[in-house]
Structure 1
Amino acid sequence: MIIPHFWAEARLQTKSAGRQVTVRRWGWSEMSQKDAQALAEQRAKEAMERILAGESLRRREPRDTYGTAEGVPIREEVVSRHDHAIVTRNSYGSLCLNTPDVLFADVDAPWRGALHVPFVGCLAVVLAGVVAGLVLKSLWIGAALAIGIPWIWSHVLWRINRARRSDGEARAKQENLEKVRAFASAHPDWHLRVYETPAGYRVLAMHDVFDPQGDSAKKAFEAVNTDPRFSRLCALQDCFRARVSPKYWRIGYRPKEWLPKSKWPFPSEEVPRRKRWVEGYEALASGFASCRFIERLGSQTVHPHAEAVRALHDRLCRADSSLPLA
């Protein structure tokens, strides 16, 4: 796991075969901004040489904060460091706990309405409306039928799905919780802590440490129905990750000044606005919990790294409080 404190971007430009070639590359460092800039310039130079030699490479690395660009670590503001864990602030302002070897699994339970307007059915209604308009020689009647009936149909189904949403989400969460419990029963040597989140559950393994890219973590993720994107990001980032402060829209935080859209590192002119946004967000976020501890499963074996991360996680999330989840 590499989450650097200092970041810089270098830009090189030259002409080749009558055309302009521009290359941008990121650099990073744990030591200083100067070292980050030096690495950025070195990576930009190497990329330029490979491009001019005929290799097909990206001219500019995507501004992806999650480290999914090849060779580029997680690019987020480092808020604090705690031995084997690092707390960062993500692109939408929430704090995230990153750890190289303590397994977290997000077991979300999204529910999508079972009723929907099938494409073939919608197309049939549209064609019927067109035909009716031609037969009746009325553009308005044809348009009203072709557009109005699918709209009314979809609106009625939307209302039905909305009425069923609460029960559907509850069933989906319960099904996922049963998968976690089944996994614990099949692996009695594992020690799992289960937390409720606004979207489902979070599982923390306490008995051992894990390789985020290893088979044990991958198989556990699959068994408990971990969100596929979460699993993929853990492998790409070579770390496990858990959001430990609320999402701002869930707590109703709507300041006059919105969070700057620029990603870390921020332009200097945006830093004061970012600071004011964070101060307001944290004041409101203190009244909410990010998850709530609900049960312990399996053995009572505790790895010291996992216990240290657990204590930090529970404190930051307010996992033992009765505050509303967000």
Structure 2
Amino acid sequence: MVIPYYWAESRLQHKTPLRQITVRRWGWSDISQEDAQQLADQRVQEAMTCIESGEKLRRREPKEAYDSADGVPIREEVVSRHENVVITRNSYGALCLNTPDVFFADVDASPKGMLHMSMRGCLAMIVTSVVTGILTKSAMAGFSLAIGLPWLVSSVMKQINKRRLPKAEAQAKKEAMTAIQAFSSVHPAWHLRVYETPAGYRLLAIHDLFDPAGETARKALEALNADKRFARLCAVQGCFRARVSPKYWRMKYKVPLSLPKSKWPFPAEHVHLRKQWIEAYDQHAPRFASCRFITALGSSVVSAEADAVRVVHDAYCRAQSDLPLA
């Protein structure tokens, strides 16, 4: 797991009579901004040399701060460090816990049986409206149906889903918990702490340490039906990750300013605005918990290193409180 404190970007341009090549590369360091810039300059020169020799490389590295590869570490603002744990702030302002060897998995409980307007269904209604307009020789009738029919069907679906949602959510959570308990029964040596989240459950294993790219972690994430993207990024970035502060839209609180969409390190013109946004967010966030501890499954074995991460996680998440989840 590499989550540097300092970041810099270098840009190199090469012109020929036939074309212009512009290459950008990131550099990073825990030592200094200058050290990060030196690495960026080195990497951009190496990339330019490879491209000029005919190798097919990206001219610019992906903008994603976390979902990146090609040897680029997690590029997020480092808020604090606790031994091997790094707390970062993600693109939408929430804090995330990053650990190189303590197993986390979020198991979403997605409600089933919800009605959705498909593209094919919407197209069929529009075609029906056009045909009706032609047959009735009324453009107004066709236009009214084309606008009103999808709206009416969507409104009816919304009302049906609203009535179905509580029961569907409860059933989805029951099924997710059954799957978690089944995993625990097959792996009795695991000490799993189970937390409720707004979308389902979070699991934290505290009996041992794990390699995020290892076969044991991969198989466990697959068996628990964890998000496939999360499992892939665990291996790519060499860390497990858990959000430990609320999502602002779940708090049903509209902060007074729009959050700048730029990624870390922020451009100078966004620094002040983002600071104001974070200050407003931090005033409201303590009224909510990110997850709530509900039970422990399996063995009672505790790894001291894993339990130290558990303490940090529970404190940031307010996992022992009765606060509403967000």
Quick check: TM above 0.5? yes
Shift of 1:113: 4.7
Query: Which residue of the partner structure matches residue 46 of structure 2?
Result: 46
Once the two structures are superposed, the pairs formed by residues 202-241 of structure 1 within 5 Å of their partners are 202-241=202-241
Which deviates further from its counterpart, 194-203 or 67-76? Answer: 67-76
Alpha-carbon distance change, 185 to 11 in structure 1, aligned in 2, over 3 angstroms: same
Task: Check conservation: 1:67, 1:75, Cα contact below 8 A.
Answer: no
Kindly provide the amino acid, as one letter, of the partner of residue 255 in structure 1. Answer: V
Once the two structures are superposed, the pairs formed by residues 130-169 of structure 1 within 5 Å of their partners are 130-169=130-169
Kindly provide the amino acid, as one letter, of the partner of residue 318 in structure 2. Answer: R
Once the two structures are superposed, the pairs formed by residues 254-265 of structure 1 within 5 Å of their partners are 254-265=254-265
Q: Give 3-state SS (helix, strand or coil) of 1:11's partner.
A: strand
Alpha-carbon distance change, 15 to 279 in structure 1, aligned in 2, over 3 angstroms: same
Q: Give 3-state SS (helix, strand or coil) of 2:8's partner.
A: strand
Shift of 1:182: 0.7
Shift of 1:121: 4.9
Q: Is structure 2 residue 184 aligned with structure 1 residue 184? A: yes
Determine the C-alpha separation between the residues in 2 that align with 1:116 and 1:270: 38
Task: Check conservation: 1:288, 1:324, Cα contact below 8 A.
Answer: yes
Query: Which residue of the partner structure matches residue 82 of structure 1?
Result: 82
Query: Which residue of the partner structure matches residue 59 of structure 2?
Result: 59
Shift of 1:279: 2.1
Q: Give 3-state SS (helix, strand or coil) of 1:286's partner.
A: helix
Determine the C-alpha separation between the residues in 1 that align with 2:186 and 2:321: 31
- Scaled by the length of structure 2, the TM-score of the pair is 0.94
Note the residue ranges of structure 2 that are not aligned, 5 or more in a row.
none
Once the two structures are superposed, the pairs formed by residues 165-314 of structure 1 within 5 Å of their partners are 165-314=165-314
Query: Which residue of the partner structure matches residue 29 of structure 2?
Result: 29
Determine the C-alpha separation between the residues in 2 that align with 1:146 and 1:279: 46
Kindly provide the amino acid, as one letter, of the partner of residue 108 in structure 1. Answer: D
Task: Check conservation: 1:84, 1:305, Cα contact below 8 A.
Answer: no
Query: Which residue of the partner structure matches residue 5 of structure 1?
Result: 5
Matched residues, number: 326
- Scaled by the length of structure 1, the TM-score of the pair is 0.94
Shift of 1:118: 5.2
Kindly provide the amino acid, as one letter, of the partner of residue 209 in structure 1. Answer: L
Determine the C-alpha separation between the residues in 2 that align with 1:197 and 1:213: 25
Task: Check conservation: 1:184, 1:190, Cα contact below 8 A.
Answer: yes
Determine the C-alpha separation between the residues in 2 that align with 1:219 and 1:168: 28
Task: Check conservation: 2:207, 2:303, Cα contact below 8 A.
Answer: yes
Task: Check conservation: 2:256, 2:277, Cα contact below 8 A.
Answer: no
Determine the C-alpha separation between the residues in 2 that align with 1:137 and 1:204: 65
Determine the C-alpha separation between the residues in 2 that align with 1:38 and 1:124: 58
Determine the C-alpha separation between the residues in 2 that align with 1:196 and 1:119: 34
Determine the C-alpha separation between the residues in 1 that align with 2:262 and 2:191: 41
Shift of 1:14: 1.0
Determine the C-alpha separation between the residues in 2 that align with 1:250 and 1:119: 28
Task: Check conservation: 1:16, 1:52, Cα contact below 8 A.
Answer: no
Determine the C-alpha separation between the residues in 2 that align with 1:21 and 1:324: 52
Deviations 1:132-181 (A, max 9, x none): 32222222222333443333223212221122112111211111111011
Kindly provide the amino acid, as one letter, of the partner of residue 325 in structure 1. Answer: L
Kindly provide the amino acid, as one letter, of the partner of residue 184 in structure 1. Answer: S
Determine the C-alpha separation between the residues in 2 that align with 1:25 and 1:238: 21
Task: Check conservation: 2:112, 2:172, Cα contact below 8 A.
Answer: no
Shift of 1:99: 0.2
Alpha-carbon distance change, 93 to 125 in structure 1, aligned in 2, over 3 angstroms: closer
Query: Which residue of the partner structure matches residue 15 of structure 1?
Result: 15
Alpha-carbon distance change, 132 to 280 in structure 1, aligned in 2, over 3 angstroms: closer
Which deviates further from its counterpart, 96-105 or 62-71? Answer: 62-71
Q: Pairwise CA RMSD of aligned residues?
A: 1.7
Deviations 1:43-91 (A, max 9, x none): 1001111111111211111211105131100001111111111111111
Q: Give 3-state SS (helix, strand or coil) of 2:287's partner.
A: coil
Task: Check conservation: 1:260, 1:273, Cα contact below 8 A.
Answer: yes
Task: Check conservation: 2:256, 2:280, Cα contact below 8 A.
Answer: no
* Identical counterparts, % of pairs: 61
Alpha-carbon distance change, 161 to 252 in structure 1, aligned in 2, over 3 angstroms: closer
